Structure 1
Amino acid sequence: MSTNPSAMPEKTRTEDLPLISVIVPVYKVERYLDRCIQSIVDQTYRNLEIILVDDGSPDACPDMCDAWAARDCRIRVIHQENRGQANARNNGIESSRGILIGFVDSDDWLEPTMYEVLQRALEEHDADISMTGSIMEYSDGHQVYLCQPNVHLIMSTSESFKYVNLPGYQTIAPWSKLIRRSVLENIRFPESQRVGEDYQFTYDVLAASKRTTYDSTPLYHYRQIEGSVSNTPSEVTPSSYKAIRNMVELVRQKFPEQLPFALYGQMRSMVSLYDQALVTGHAKERQWRDFARDTRAFIRQNIKAITESVTLPHGRRLQLKLMAISTTLYGVFFLLYKRIHPERSK
């Protein structure tokens, strides 16, 4: 068989594949940055534009980014004053040239085939977004899989709002996704939020897509750094909870068949947000007492409609039942559970 590149089938030649722009916000990750970039450079899908956005990092990261750009012509670096991850991602989008867009957090790393798998799924199913499973990586070496095994989904816009609200399927995070530029148009990350900006962005992107795919094979490694937001009981924050409520209203108006799943997503976020208040010691404050009361009322009002459509795990049923009976009793049992199982997140 000839090894002459010109004899290769056209679709296998790098220059004939669609350009993927991989956007990496970089801030205070000098210990992890090399592994992250190396895992992108080593992708089996070669037609990449790798945009490193140095968000005013005060450590060695700016020089490391420049050194990587000197080594690989596919890498470009944007240096900017610190404006937060949302702004860094948005600047990456504006600067990018690819017709497909991906995001990577600069302390994480990828399996070598990730973008090849995601791009193939887009093409095979004429989708606007393709998604992969992920693994939480802890410093002591243990791993937590963020997905149900052997799940392969092709979803309409409506169905995507079902599965985004079910734990163990697709995540909110943009880093598990490959997105067509045509879907983004004017969709950007909300820069007024320093935490939880992923929620509104992902809901907007799902709403703008005609078809999405999901393969739970874990190809993304999500590093858990002690003291980071991702090690709190949940990544739900007050700002992301507002986005979740907006999502519920969107579903109510456009995809009412998925409303029980959207309500379940809101219910989980309310409980998780109250869990944060319990763990951080703020649950006795007036605003959180009021929030606990609202959560209890929401569960009582919606649990019947939810359980008619959503199969809840036994542990989740007990959790919601306890919260509906007494928020005080729930707080006692939750803190006891966290003391016995500090390694588990909600």
Structure 2
Amino acid sequence: MRVAVISAYYKEPRYVLRRCHESVLAQAGNVTHVMVADGFPSSDVDSWKGVIHIKIPNHADYGDTPRGIGAACASANGFDAICFLDADNWYAPNHVETMRIIVEETGAQVVTATRTIFTANGRMLGICKESNGVDFNDTNCYFLTRAAFPACAAWLFKDPRESIRGDKIFWNTVRTGGYLHFHSIVPTVNYVSTFAFHYEMFGEVPPDDSKVIAKLPGRQNFQMVSYAEYKAMGGAGGR
């Protein structure tokens, strides 16, 4: 099974990109890392082993367009499965193998994985209770076989104003797509979060500079604000 791991990246430091890439290199099987530069390509990536490096203009849509373009390229080049891995996150060494075995044993067209949440400074908060493959599934936790590739159009052809919630739109597309789905309880995805919601999930008070996706007074669309701003508006936590 030829697996493409799609990583949109923006201005992440080299060591962050390297951590992401090395976790893909560590996967068993025929795995290719498709790294899509969203307007700010790193010349270092050109020389990295096992990488298809795609460079596009910046779209300022939280990585949605780079993911969609990477998925389209993977499909056109005959890959059998697609995963997504944001540049600041990384896989456990057994991630792809775990997903592949589930596909072989169950015939699943979509496999979702469990994730572990880390803070930006590398402290582990715990196993995520939100991305459970029932209520929600995070972008980094998908393994899509070819039957489910059409769902990737959701990254590209939605209302651009909804990009801030693109992960939820994609999850809804997968959830309602009629695909045979299996969820793995093995935590094989490591996710770096700056969201206030995830601190509260583990009984911690969020830092003031953590993020909340909220609707501001007088605004129709969601926006990203700091936890300090959200508290000032009378809110408490959120995503």
TM-score tier (shorter): 0.7 to 0.9
2:83 pairs with 1:102: yes
> What amino acid is aligned across from residue 120 of structure 1 in structure 2?
I
Instruction: Measure, in 2, the Cα distance between the counterparts of 1:210 and 1:91.
Output: 22
> What amino acid is aligned across from residue 47 of structure 1 in structure 2?
N
1:184 offset after TM fit, Å? 2.8
Q: Which one has the bigger helix percentage? A: 1
Specify the alignment match of 2:139 in structure 1: 174
2:182 pairs with 1:222: no
> What amino acid is aligned across from residue 111 of structure 1 in structure 2?
A
> What amino acid is aligned across from residue 83 of structure 1 in structure 2?
H
**Conserved? CA contact 1:196–1:237, under 8 Å:** no
Secondary structure of 1:119 counterpart: helix
Check 1:103–1:237 CA distance in 2 against 1; reply closer, same or farther (3 A cut). Answer: farther
2:82 pairs with 1:82: no
Check 1:210–1:225 CA distance in 2 against 1; reply closer, same or farther (3 A cut). Answer: closer
2:180 pairs with 1:211: yes
1:39 paired residue among 17, 23, 37:
23
> What amino acid is aligned across from residue 70 of structure 2 in structure 1?
G
Specify the alignment match of 1:300 in structure 2: none
Check 1:109–1:146 CA distance in 2 against 1; reply closer, same or farther (3 A cut). Answer: same
Check 1:207–1:280 CA distance in 2 against 1; reply closer, same or farther (3 A cut). Answer: same
Check 1:218–1:19 CA distance in 2 against 1; reply closer, same or farther (3 A cut). Answer: same
Question: Structure 1 runs of 4+ off > 4 angstroms?
Answer: 229-234, 275-278
Q: Which protein shows a greater Rg?
A: 1
1:225 offset after TM fit, Å? 4.9
Check 1:184–1:38 CA distance in 2 against 1; reply closer, same or farther (3 A cut). Answer: same
**Conserved? CA contact 2:194–2:211, under 8 Å:** no
State the identity %: 19
2:81 pairs with 1:116: no
TM-score under structure 2 normalisation?
0.75
2:117 pairs with 1:136: yes
Q: Which one has the bigger strand percentage? A: 2
**Conserved? CA contact 1:86–1:191, under 8 Å:** no
Instruction: Measure, in 2, the Cα distance between the counterparts of 1:83 and 1:112.
Output: 31
Per-residue CA shift, 1:184-223, capped at 9, x if unaligned? 3263213603411111111111211332111222111111
2:166 pairs with 1:201: no
**Conserved? CA contact 1:29–1:107, under 8 Å:** yes
| Structure possessing the higher relative contact order (Cα contacts under 8 Å, 6 or more residues apart) | 2
Q: Flag structure 2 segments of 5+ consecutive residues without an equivalent.
A: 200-208
Instruction: Measure, in 1, the Cα distance between the counterparts of 2:172 and 2:228.
Output: 25
Instruction: Measure, in 2, the Cα distance between the counterparts of 1:115 and 1:191.
Output: 32
2:236 pairs with 1:279: no
